[in-house]
Structure 1
Amino acid sequence: MEKQFYAVYLNPSRPDFAMTMTEEERAIMTEHVAYWTEILKQGKVYAFGPVMDPKQIYGLGIVAVDNEQELKDIIANDPAGKINKYEYFPMKAVVPNISIS
């Protein structure tokens, strides 16, 4: 089965979130990084991390899954979803050794 690729955005709850996180928010974001690192190790994530856009820092991930529901499940189980909002879009990814979806 061909993988479906998505660009996944984690949008912060406020524009200055990255600079003004509370201790509780920082702990949740630490859990978030650990969670996505495990998904990365499973080969479902090609890259993830903060985008240092001068207007607002946000998270970005490039994900390859079997179907959209699998992505929804990944998002639903992410601790960062408690304090930030996700959006995602299908992506026509060109990656080594994998056909274009």
Structure 2
Amino acid sequence: MLAAYSSRPPIRVPSPQGVECPMKYFLCRFIPPGPDFLKTMTPEQKQLMKAHGEFLQAMLEQGGVVAHGPVADPAGGWGMSLFQMADNESADDVRAIVAEDPMIKANIGARYEVLPMLQLRMRA
């Protein structure tokens, strides 16, 4: 549940028949504590990663995240999340949300890069 991770109200995305609401998108890159982290996690870190996935899944179900998942980068795995925010929100608002991620709150060296999308084209 989103409420377990953030005090922000759920983000509601209007239907195509609803009122138009300008949105901004942010690509978030989740960088784990090290390039081999997924192979060397302790049992406690595995629990944190599970909570990290639950955090992002809750955001997806609430409408704040459009997509998320791991990226198989030969240099070391990382995670991608695409956040959809109201037009009056900024990268700082996204940073405040991802600061609630259990992996970030655990202070074990994981971090996010928050990058604004200059333009996003999507299928209807």
Q: Could you say whether these structures have the same fold, taking a TM-score greater than 0.5 normalized by the shorter chain as the test? A: yes
Consecutive unaligned residues of structure 2, counting only runs of 5 or more, are 1-20
Q: Distance in 1 between matches of 2:78 and 2:52?
A: 13
Name the structure 1 match of 2:122: 95
TM-superposition CA deviations, 1:64-85 (whole Å, max 9, x none): 1121243122111110113301
2:97 to 74, 77, 90: 74
Instruction: Say whether residues 1:48 and 2:68 are aligned partners.
Output: yes
Aligned length: 97
| Greater helix fraction, Structure 1 or Structure 2 | 1
Deviation at 1:7, TM superposition (A): 0.6
C-alpha distance in 1, partners of 2:85/2:103? 20
Q: Which runs of 5+ in 1 are unaligned?
A: none
CA RMSD of aligned residues (A): 1.3
Tell me the distance in 1 between the aligned counterparts of 2:120 and 2:103: 25
Larger Rg: 2
Larger strand percent = 1
Q: How far 1:43 sits from its partner (Å)?
A: 1.2
What is the TM-score with the length of structure 2 in the denominator? 0.72
